[in-house]
Chains A and B, each alone.
Chain A
């Protein structure tokens, strides 16, 4: 499949911090990506630069094979509503959707109306006066109903209740099945979105530390639990990314799959093995890294 977005050696500096550090990746068409990482990892900055709302310090971005900056042919096919999106003064959700309908060629009004019902979104209230969740809903509805070929969601669930979040994921998947496109879900509620992601890109301190198929990541690590000495013996020489002790019981997260021999050894030593969720994997691999700062 061909890439719709190519990012190469992208670096973004703000005074003394490096928001993005030599980021290179490609996004393929008709795929749902998770853009995961901690607060300040660079997720919003990255989406902002790819959609030409901000500029890279160095590096190159190409969208549908062209530079996106001031390029209406490209921008027309892209949608990025940020989590702290500003709206025109005293605009209501109704105003925002009317404008979106003008701007996005594939806008589906029926879909937008259905989402308004799902989210119980008040249409005639000033957006500034809406609750955090309702404001998120406005952005999420624009993202889904725009049906842009590449759609970025910037933490679309912020402040949404569980019912509304489920409605968002359900509608997004339903619509994706009928109208495949490239969707990038920036999120730190990883477990919640894990099931709908096909590929996962993890940013940490402005660097891409994982870029894999979601299924591969699910089998990437396991937790071995049991008697401390037996765990230590089994995990010797393996890549340990996390260790937790409770009395003489130890739980160790190790990278790599378990071979049949491994399984036999585990059973013989009374060790338990359990899979690591995507969220745990991301947490374990991003929790200890220090913040990077630019060299003076």
Chain B
């Protein structure tokens, strides 16, 4: 366990990567949103849409760099692959958790002040109390999925090369599009939408968590076999 903590310290020695940058991106997107919604001269609902997603994209980059840069360095530091994997994922969990808590705080303020008094929202507006509590969890899960997508893709790249990564990503895109096409044609689209609606926000978030666990386990198998 001590060695896993060392990996977390390693990831956090340069505070910019896991703490500084996500906070700068989040607060930047947040401040811009507030300025803009205050500027818009209408009392109608103003929702910033994807602004809150800005730091999530950064997680994709951090995931890639964790494998392409931090992993080779951890090998030079004589850290086992297992300890590196656990420590790195735990670091991502903590950072995503901190972001989710900030997101929660902002959403609470926004619902208490009626969108800063001008009906303008950075977080998703119009949620029930229940959903208000689930939204940060969804935010956390999406951040982890982004991180693991970057980490896993980089692991495939390091393990099998650019060609295999491209084939896998293209293959996934084709499969998803094909599935979409088939479900629309066969009329099962409505069934799927109904299913997703029935799952609700919490259900879908938990499915996302399951996907994250699968990605985490799969990338561990790859990290064990990456050669430098």
**In the bound complex, do residue B228 and residue A53 qualify as a contact, i.e. CB atoms below 8 Å apart?**
yes
Chain B residues positioned under 8 Å from A85 (CB to CB):
72-73, 76
A-facing mask of B170-195, CB < 8 A → 1, else 0? 00000000000000000000000000
**A53-B228, A90-B16, A95-B13 are known contacts. Are A103 and B65 too (CB-CB below 8 A)?**
no
CA distance in complex: A87, B77 (Å): 11
**In the bound complex, do residue A88 and residue B69 qualify as a contact, i.e. CB atoms below 8 Å apart?**
yes
Q: Which of A251-269 contact B (CB under 8 A)?
A: none
Interface residues on A, range: 35 or more
**A53-B228, A85-B73, A102-B6 are known contacts. Are A90 and B17 too (CB-CB below 8 A)?**
yes
Chain B residues positioned under 8 Å from A183 (CB to CB):
none
**In the bound complex, do residue A142 and residue B76 qualify as a contact, i.e. CB atoms below 8 Å apart?**
yes
**A48-B228, A54-B228, A88-B65 are known contacts. Are A95 and B14 too (CB-CB below 8 A)?**
yes
CA distance in complex: A87, B65 (Å): 10
- Shortest C-beta distance, B29 to chain A (Å), equals 21
**A48-B228, A90-B14, A91-B14 are known contacts. Are A71 and B80 too (CB-CB below 8 A)?**
yes
Q: Flag whether B81 is at the interface (Cβ < 8 A).
A: yes
**A86-B73, A88-B73, A90-B17 are known contacts. Are A104 and B227 too (CB-CB below 8 A)?**
no
**In the bound complex, do residue B14 and residue A79 qualify as a contact, i.e. CB atoms below 8 Å apart?**
no
**A88-B73, A102-B9 are known contacts. Are A70 and B14 too (CB-CB below 8 A)?**
no
**In the bound complex, do residue B10 and residue A99 qualify as a contact, i.e. CB atoms below 8 Å apart?**
yes
CA distance in complex: A95, B224 (Å): 26
CA distance in complex: A139, B76 (Å): 9
**In the bound complex, do residue A75 and residue B73 qualify as a contact, i.e. CB atoms below 8 Å apart?**
no
Chain B residues touching A, majority SS: helix
Residue count of chain B within 8 Å CB distance of chain A: 28
Of chain B, the residue at the smallest CB distance from A94 is B13
Chain B residues positioned under 8 Å from A48 (CB to CB):
227-228
- Shortest C-beta distance, B72 to chain A (Å), equals 4
CA distance in complex: A181, B129 (Å): 64
CA distance in complex: A82, B75 (Å): 10
Q: Flag whether A78 is at the interface (Cβ < 8 A).
A: yes
- Shortest C-beta distance, A73 to chain B (Å), equals 10
Q: Flag whether A11 is at the interface (Cβ < 8 A).
A: no
**In the bound complex, do residue A103 and residue B227 qualify as a contact, i.e. CB atoms below 8 Å apart?**
no
Q: Flag whether A35 is at the interface (Cβ < 8 A).
A: no
Chain A residues positioned under 8 Å from B6 (CB to CB):
102-103
Q: Flag whether A72 is at the interface (Cβ < 8 A).
A: yes
**In the bound complex, do residue B80 and residue A75 qualify as a contact, i.e. CB atoms below 8 Å apart?**
yes
Q: Flag whether A89 is at the interface (Cβ < 8 A).
A: yes
CA distance in complex: A256, B69 (Å): 49
11 A-B residue pairs with Cβ-Cβ distance under 8 Å, sorted by A, are: A51-B78, A54-B227, A55-B227, A70-B224, A72-B83, A82-B228, A88-B14, A95-B13, A99-B9, A102-B10, A139-B76
Write the residues of chain B forming the contact surface with A, with a CB cutoff of 8 angstroms. 3, 6, 9-11, 13-14, 16-17, 65, 68-70, 72-73, 75-83, 224-225, 227-228
